[in-house]
Amino acid sequence: MNWHAVKVIYVNEMMRTFRTLAQSIASPVISTSLYFVVFGSAIGSRIESIDGVSYGAFLVPGLMMLSLLTQSISNASFGIYFPKFIGTIYEILSAPISHFEILLGYVGAAATKSLIIGTIILITASFFVDIRIAHPIWMVSFFVLTCVTFSLLGFIIGIWADNFEKLQLVPLLVITPLVFLGGSFYSIDMLPPAWQTISLFNPVLYLISGFRWSFFEVSDVSVGWSLLAVAVFLFACLAVVSWMFKTGYKMKS
């Protein structure tokens, strides 16, 4: 394992974050705080609690997940797309570093950024509502797995994208709607039976449900299904990345 090469990629990506601190960290934190204030005030005044959890607290895992998913994808996709855009990807591919080490550097940095943002959002939310974490170990596990998994998805999108517009295509038109329809701001038990069934086909529902369970022991689906969904998506992303490196898909041409 060439840890020096991994460190160089990782540190370079992290330094880019700190050079654009307002955009990379402050912006998503402020946006999520505004979501919390608006939804917590406007809707929270009409919904006192859901499954025994105050609506303000109920929002926190959903808002964190919204930020984690979008930021993980955006950070990882831009991180690998930029070397493609300026042509330095060929230097990286020809260097004495394995594909796994390249992946570890870029995905590790993107996941770290998302972990930092998620932690700051959690701390910020604690000033608005009383937050309790019933299962801290499970919370951290869902936290880390989600960041890593969607950073892998972002890495795939970054390789697939031909322009900057495509980098935003999946986060804006696919992930964000799925998060909003995946029980971020409500429990699917509040929906009509037909819509409850449709919601079960939304993969993001399982992520949010498992993450919320680690806080309040309240979930829309069983925790086992949530863990299985994360694991399946993680290995699917690893399989796609492996195929991309083996074939040189949009990297060697």
Q: What would the 3-class secondary structure string for the chain be?
A: CCHHHHHHHHHHHHHHHHHCHHHHHHHHHHHHHHHHHHHHHHCCCCCCEECCEEHHHHHHHHHHHHHHHHHHHHHHHHHHHHHHHHCCHHHHHHCCCCHHHHHHHHHHHHHHHHHHHHHHHHHHHCCCCCCCCCCHHHHHHHHHHHHHHHHHHHHHHHHHCCCHHHHHHHHHHHHHHHHHCCCCCCCHHHCCHHHHHHHCCCHHHHHHHHHHHHHHCCCCCCHHHHHHHHHHHHHHHHHHHHHHHHHCCCCCC
Instruction: Give the model's confidence band at 169: pLDDT under 50 very low, under 70 low, under 90 confident, else very high.
Output: confident
At residue 253 the predicted structure's pLDDT band, cuts being 50, 70 and 90, is low
pTM for this structure? Answer: 0.90
pLDDT of the residue at 107: 94
What is the structure's pLDDT at 141?
A: 92
Please, which pLDDT band fits residue 59 given cuts at 50, 70 and 90? Answer: confident
Q: Check residue 104 and give its pLDDT.
A: 93
- Given pLDDT bands bounded at 50, 70 and 90, which one contains residue 27? confident
Give the model confidence (pLDDT) of 122-143 as tens digits. 888 888 788 889 999 999 999 9
pLDDT (tens digit, 9 = 90+) per residue, 79-122? 899 888 888 888 887 888 888 999 999 999 999 999 998 898 88
Residue 47 pLDDT > 80 = no
Q: Average pLDDT, stretch 29-43?
A: 74
Residue 106 sits at the vertex; the CA angle it makes with 82 and 250, to the nearest 5 degrees, is 50
pLDDT computed for residue 44 by the predictor:
62
